[in-house]
Amino acid sequence: MRESQDDHWLTRPVTIRRLWIGFALVLGALVLAGLQIKVKGYFGIDDLFGFAAWFGFGSCVLMVLVAKALGALLKRSESYYQEEATGASTESAATSTDSGET
């Protein structure tokens, strides 16, 4: 395998740095545009400066916390599938010996 095939353009450090700089410039331009444009809110709080950014960030944090809680609630032991497989094999072995005796 050639080395150029392993070097995807999104994994190069130069490309990652350029993307971060580009995103930061776009974010800065949007903040400056937000200062110039008057936003009419419908609920009182949504007309504050940067409300959409704070709301999006808060929603993201809330989703991560709910996902962690759900993961803790639904978590199984590491040997969950091994126990199930050994339990099924012992049951099938028990039924086969029982059916052979009758």
pLDDT for 1 equals 46
Residue 53 and residue 13 share a domain: no
Using CA atoms, how far apart are residues 65 and 72, in angstroms rounded to an integer? Answer: 11
What percentage of the chain carries pLDDT values higher than 70?
75
From residue 97, give the alpha-carbon distance in Å to each of 78, 86, 89, 91: 31, 17, 12, 10
Residue 28 and residue 10 share a domain: yes
* Residues 18-61 pLDDT 10s: 999 999 999 899 888 888 988 888 998 988 888 888 999 999 99
Compare 77 and 20 and report the one with higher pLDDT: 20
> Is residue 102 domain-resident?
no
Please indicate, yes or no, whether the overall pTM of this predicted structure exceeds 0.85: no
Using CA atoms, how far apart are residues 102 and 79, in angstroms rounded to an integer? Answer: 35
Residue 78 and residue 55 share a domain: yes
Using CA atoms, how far apart are residues 94 and 100, in angstroms rounded to an integer? Answer: 10
What domain range is 13 assigned to? 1-37
